[in-house]
Amino acid sequence: MTKQNTNKVEEKEVSVEEKLKALYHLQQIDTQIDKIKIIRGELPLEVEDLEDEIAGLETRISNFREEKAKFEQFVTDKLNAIKESKALIKRYEEQQLNVRNNREYDSLTKEVEFQNLEIQLSEKKIKEANFRLESIDSDINEANERLEMRQQDLDAKKAELTNIVAETEKDEKELESKSRENESLIETRLLTAYKRIRKNARNGLAVVQIERDACGGCFNKIPPQHQLDIKLHKKIIVCEYCGRILVDQQIADSVNEAEN
Better-predicted residue by pLDDT, 255 or 80: 80
Burial-class residue 155 by CB neighbours within 10 Å (0-12, 13-18, 19+).
exposed
Instruction: Please state the pTM of the whole predicted model.
Output: 0.57
| Domains in the chain with CATH codes | 3-39+187-259 (no CATH), 43-170 (1.10.287.1490)
Residue-wise pLDDT for 188-235, tens only, equals 898 999 999 999 888 899 999 999 999 999 999 999 999 999 999 999
Task: Give residue 72's pLDDT.
Answer: 97
- Looking from the CA of 14 toward its CB, the CA atoms found within 13 Å total 16
Task: Give residue 171's pLDDT.
Answer: 84
Residue-wise pLDDT for 104-135, tens only, equals 999 999 999 999 999 999 999 999 999 999 99
Better-predicted residue by pLDDT, 10 or 87: 87
